Amino acid sequence: MYRYDEVDHRIVRERVEQFRNQTQRFLSGELTEDEFRPLRLMNGLYVQRHAPMLRVAIPYGHLASRQLRKLAHIARTYDKNYAHFTTRQNIQFNWPELARVPDILAELAEVEMHAIQTSGNCVRNTTTDAFAGVAQDELLDPRAYCEIIRQWSTLHPEFAFLPRKFKIAVSGSVEDRAATQVHDIGLHVVRNEAGEVGFKVIVGGGLGRTPIVGEVVKEFLPTRHLLTYLDAVLRVYNRFGRRDNKYKARIKILVKAMTVAGFAAKVEDEWQHLKDGPSTLRDVDVAHYASYFTDPAYDVLPSNPPELLEKQAAEPAFARWLERNTRPHKQAGYRSVVLSLKKTGVPPGDITADQMDAAADWADRFGYGELRVAHEQNLILPDVRERDLYEVWQLAKSQGFATPNIGLLTDIICCPGGDFCSLANARSIPVAEAIQTRFDDLDYLFDLGEIDCNFSGCMNACGHHHIGNIGILGVDKNGEEWYQITLGGSQGSHTTIGKVIGPSFAQADVPLAFEKIMTVYLEQRTEGERFIETVRRIGLDPFKERVYAKHH
C-alpha cells in the first residue's frame, strides 16, 4: 500500500488549512454561497437534503485497517455511527456539521486520507479492479499507475476547473472489473505484438443522462507516456468541452461532436508537444511506486486444505458463502473474501462504525492489514488463508457481513436516492429492500445465478443502472415516484447499455415485475445459461409481454 512521504503529508495538511480558511470565510459571510459551492464541492462537501454530506476519497479502493478504524471513529464522533460506500470506491458521511468538516479533514490527514476532488468539476477519485494485485488474470498490477494518476490529478493547476466532473478507471486484468468503457477515460492494460505492456485508451464513455460506451482513441499507449497523454486529453477537453450546458459538458459529448477520429487527431496533435517531456515515466519512477505494492510475505500453503473441505461438506450454509463470497487468489492456499454490505433491510453500501472496527481487526488478524472497497459497494479482505475461512465466516455472520449474495440479484448496486440525496427524483433504498425481501429465499436466489441489479434514484446514474443486467431508474412524474426498468445492460469487457422495457412502475409493483422477469428467464434459459445471456439470446419481447400482460 502506498505510504505518504513528508511531501504528501505536507500537501494534505496545507489542503486542510486552505479548506478551513475557505469554510471560515463562508461562515463569516466573506464568501457567497455561489463562491463557496465550487470550493466545497472540490472537497467532497455537498449540501444535502438533511445535512451536509462529506465524501472521503479512498484512492483506487485501497484501505488500511488503521484508516478504516479512523473512519469508524469519524462516524462515531461527527456523524450518526455509520457511513456509506459508493460506486467510486469512496465513502460518504451523511450528517456532518459544516463547521466541523475541517476537523474531520485534519483527522483524516493523520491517516493519510483526504476528500480532495471527490466531487466538483475536476478529476475525481481514480478507480480500479477491487482485486488488483491478487487477481489470477492480471497482466499488470494497476495500483502503481493508479497512484501515479492520483498524484498527477491531485490539485493539478491546469485542470482544477474543468467543464464537468472527470472520471478515470484503470483495469490491469484480462477481464475488465473496473467498468473502463463507461468512464471519461478508461485505461485497459494490453500487450502489443512485441509483448510490451501498455494501455488501450478509451475515452468518452459514461452513464448519466446520455449513456454511452466509450471509444478507443489509442489502441496502444506505452506506459511511460501515460501522464503526457492524459495531459493532452485533458487539455483538449478543458479548452473545447462545452460549458454552456451542464448536460452537454462531459467529454463524451465532445468526442461525439468531433467524431472519435477527429478527437483522437486533436489529442495526438496536442500530445506531440508534450510527449517525451518531463512527465514521461522512467522505469525507475514506476519502480519507486510499484515498490509500495509488492506482495506481502505469503505463507507457503496447500490449496483446499482438508479442514476447509470438511467444513464445506458438513455445512451447506458455509459452502454457499464460500461459493459466493470468496474469490480465487493468485497465491495457493489463499482467497479473497467479500464482506457483503447487501443484507436485506440495510441500505446497500451502508456500514456501521462497529462493523468498520470489526473488519479492520480481521484485516489485521487474517490478512496483512489491508482491505478493498469494491465499486459494487462491498468490502473485501484480499488475502485470507483458506484454513481461516471458516472462522472468518462465523465472525462475518456475527457482524451481518455474511449474506451469501455476491453477484446475485440481491447484491444490488444502489445510490442513496431520495432519502438522502437532493438530486434524486425517487427513493431507492426502500425499493431495493422490497426486492431483496421478495428474493430472500436463498435456494431460489442461487438458482437464478449471477445477475447484476443496479439502481439509480435519478438520471445522474450514480447507481450505474444502465449497465445492470436489470436496471432501475427512479423517475418523477408530477411529483410522484415511478420506476423504469431496463434489461440487457452489462459491465466488463463487453459493456452494453440496457434498454427500457416499457412504461415505468409504481413502487409497490416493482418486486412483482422483477418476479415476472425472473419467471421468463427460468422458463427460457438453457442449461447453464446466465440471465444476461438469455436476455441477449431471446431479446426483450418475451419479458415485455409477460411484465405488461393484462391477465397473468
Partner 1 sequence: MRSIIKDGQITQDSWQVLRADVEGQYPTVAADVDVIVPLALWLADKPTWQARAGQTAVWLAPDDDPQLLATDLDRLPLVAVDFPAFTDGRGYSLGRLLRERYSYAGELRALGDVWVDLLHYLWQVGFNAFEIKDGKDLDGALSGYDTFTERYQSTHREPVPLFRRRVTSL
Distance CA 152, CA 147 (A): 8
Which amino acid is residue 43, in one-letter code?
Answer: N
Regarding 161 and contact with partner 1 (CB under 8 A), the answer is yes
Check: CB of residue 399 under 8 Å from CB of residue 355. Answer: yes
Which of 20, 100, 243, 387 binds partner 1 (CB under 8 A)? It is 243
Helix (H) or strand (E) run with residue 351 in it: strand 350-352
Shortest distance (Å) from residue 20 CB to partner 1: 12
Regarding 152 and contact with partner 1 (CB under 8 A), the answer is yes
Which of 238, 507, 519, 524 binds partner 1 (CB under 8 A)? It is 238
Total residues contacting partner 1 by CB under 8 A comes to 41
Q: What is the CA radius of gyration of the chain?
A: 23
Regarding 465 and contact with partner 1 (CB under 8 A), the answer is no
Shortest distance (Å) from residue 313 CB to partner 1: 52
223 vs 456 by CB, closer to partner 1: 223
Cell output for 40: 466545497
8 vs 361 by CB, closer to partner 1: 8
Separation of CA 539 from chain center: 28
Regarding 246 and contact with partner 1 (CB under 8 A), the answer is no
20 vs 397 by CB, closer to partner 1: 20
Which of 88, 165, 167, 235 binds partner 1 (CB under 8 A)? It is 235
Task: Say how many C-beta atoms besides its own lie within 10 A of residue 317's C-beta.
Answer: 12
Distance CA 79, CA 38 (A): 23
- Taking every pair of C-alpha atoms in the chain, what is the biggest distance, in angstroms? 69
Regarding 275 and contact with partner 1 (CB under 8 A), the answer is no
Interaction pattern, residues 280-299, with partner 1; x per rule: CB under 8 A = -xx-xx--xx----------
Separation of CA 431 from chain center: 21
Find the binding residues for partner 1 in span 7-66 (CB under 8 A).
Answer: 7, 10-11, 14-15, 18, 22, 30, 35, 38-39
Interaction pattern, residues 95-134, with partner 1; x per rule: CB under 8 A = --------------------------x-------------
Regarding 229 and contact with partner 1 (CB under 8 A), the answer is no
Regarding 550 and contact with partner 1 (CB under 8 A), the answer is no
Q: Are strands 413-414 and 52-56 parallel, antiparallel or unpaired?
A: unpaired
Check: CB of residue 56 under 8 Å from CB of residue 139. Answer: no
Q: H/E/C letters for each residue in 461-516?
A: CCCCHHHCCEEEEEEEECCEEEEEEEECCECCCCCECCEECCCCEEHHHHHHHHHH
20 vs 330 by CB, closer to partner 1: 20
Shortest distance (Å) from residue 158 CB to partner 1: 5
Distance CA 349, CA 393 (A): 19
Regarding 276 and contact with partner 1 (CB under 8 A), the answer is no
Distance CA 143, CA 130 (A): 10
Cell output for 378: 462491498
Shortest distance (Å) from residue 543 CB to partner 1: 44
Which of 239, 246, 494, 537 binds partner 1 (CB under 8 A)? It is 239
Contacts of 65 (CB under 8 A, 6+ apart): 360, 361, 363, 364, 369, 370, 371
Give the chain's end-to-end CA distance (angstroms, integer). Answer: 55
270 vs 386 by CB, closer to partner 1: 270
Q: Is 46 helix (H, G, I), strand (E, B) or coil?
A: strand
120 vs 133 by CB, closer to partner 1: 120
Which of 72, 108, 148, 170 binds partner 1 (CB under 8 A)? It is 148
Regarding 77 and contact with partner 1 (CB under 8 A), the answer is no
| Phi, psi dihedrals of residue 249, rounded to the nearest 5° | -95, -10
Distance CA 419, CA 351 (A): 16
Shortest distance (Å) from residue 210 CB to partner 1: 22
160 vs 540 by CB, closer to partner 1: 160
Regarding 279 and contact with partner 1 (CB under 8 A), the answer is yes
Which range in 148-156, 245-253, 392-400, 537-545 contacts partner 1 by CB under 8 A?
148-156
Cell output for 530: 446466465
Which range in 97-105, 156-164, 198-206, 448-456 contacts partner 1 by CB under 8 A?
156-164
Which of 158, 269, 295, 447 binds partner 1 (CB under 8 A)? It is 158
Estimate the crossing angle of helix 260-272 against helix 251-258, to 10 degrees. 100
Q: Rounded to whole angstroms, what are the CA distances from 259 to 163, 211, 216, 296, 334? A: 19, 16, 11, 46, 47
Which of 48, 151, 460, 524 binds partner 1 (CB under 8 A)? It is 151
Cell output for 367: 490478512
Q: What is the DSSP letter of 388?
A: G
Which range in 183-191, 275-283, 307-315, 345-353 contacts partner 1 by CB under 8 A?
275-283
Q: What secondary structure does DSSP assign to 151-165, as a single string?
A: HHHTT-TTSSS-SS-
Q: Is 233 helix (H, G, I), strand (E, B) or coil?
A: helix
Which of 45, 162, 185, 233 binds partner 1 (CB under 8 A)? It is 162
Shortest distance (Å) from residue 150 CB to partner 1: 9
Shortest distance (Å) from residue 10 CB to partner 1: 6
Which of 278, 306, 479, 528 binds partner 1 (CB under 8 A)? It is 278
Residues that bind partner 1 (CB under 8 A): 5, 7, 10-11, 14-15, 18, 22, 30, 35, 38-39, 121, 148, 151-152, 154-163, 227, 235, 238-239, 243, 273, 277-279, 281-282, 284-285, 288-289
